[in-house]
Amino acid sequence: QRAEVKADLQEAIAEESKQKSELARRKSSLFRLFYKRRIAELEIKLPQTQTEISRLVSWEDSTKIAITFESSDASQRAYDAMVRAFDVLKSSVKKWDITADKAVDQFAERTLATRSVNRHPVAFDFSSTDLIQFTGRAMRFENANGDDILLYPGVAVIPRADGAFALIDLRELQISAEPRGFHEEDGVPSDASIAGHTWAKTNKNGSPDRRFKDNYQIPICIYGNITFHSQTGVTEEYMVSNADAAQAFAEAVKRYQLSLTETESLVRV
């Protein structure tokens, strides 16, 4: 319904623009006396088109979900702390969506790395969806190969391109983070810490494999690995260059989830 209303609205706005342009052109023409009939028609049609636009705008608004989030003072403080932690997290120099990973044959590939990942740069930012009318801003995690995740107070929203969406109680969404070493060959982000170095081709003891002439050193960066998981099927994994920010955000989420559970318990009592 929203898609149909939006299409009709765009068509009506285009028609209004066309009618305005024609009316102005004919009124300013040297031959405007010959266009009196057409000018009269446009002066009747234009208000009708504008009325239709107003009706469609109102109808479009009625297809949105208006939400107000009420919480205890403790929950509000915990949520504000989560927003601040996300503000730091989104400022990480590098953020990637892990779209695939597989175990590495360390012997065959002469490496100390245990897994190989496919990663794509993504954005974390404050955003919103026109599905939900909310005075604040959602915390958005871009998904490189699927639907973005938006975190609101108490709920996660996953909007789809076709207009459908999922709502998940935030207490049912597990968000965890842990530091993880990564053999970085694409340049070290300025906010990443380096745990050490390895070689493109290594022996079991970590020394360089001298059989490879162009062997080179690789820094081992400590990145923050963030995972989203729910019983309803949400599974998403991100990597950020600021490992401390990832850990702080996950801890802030847990404190907020706990505050929601405690508030519900008090209400039930």
H/E run at residue 11: helix 2-27
Burial of 249 (0-12, 13-18, 19+ CB in 10 A): buried
Tell me the pLDDT band of 74, cut-offs 50, 70 and 90.
confident
Q: What is the mean pLDDT of residues 97-106?
A: 66
**119 contacts 212 by C-beta, under 8 angstroms:** no
Whole-number mean pLDDT of the chain?
Answer: 83
Position 142 pLDDT exceeds 70: yes
Distance, in Å, from the CA atom of 54 to the CA atom of 9, rounded to the nearest integer, reads 9
Position 98 pLDDT exceeds 60: yes
Q: What is the value of pTM for the model shown? A: 0.68
Burial of 107 (0-12, 13-18, 19+ CB in 10 A): exposed
Q: What is the mean pLDDT of residues 129-141?
A: 77
Tell me the pLDDT band of 262, cut-offs 50, 70 and 90.
confident
For the record, the structure tokens of 128 come out as 């919103």
Position 1 pLDDT exceeds 80: no
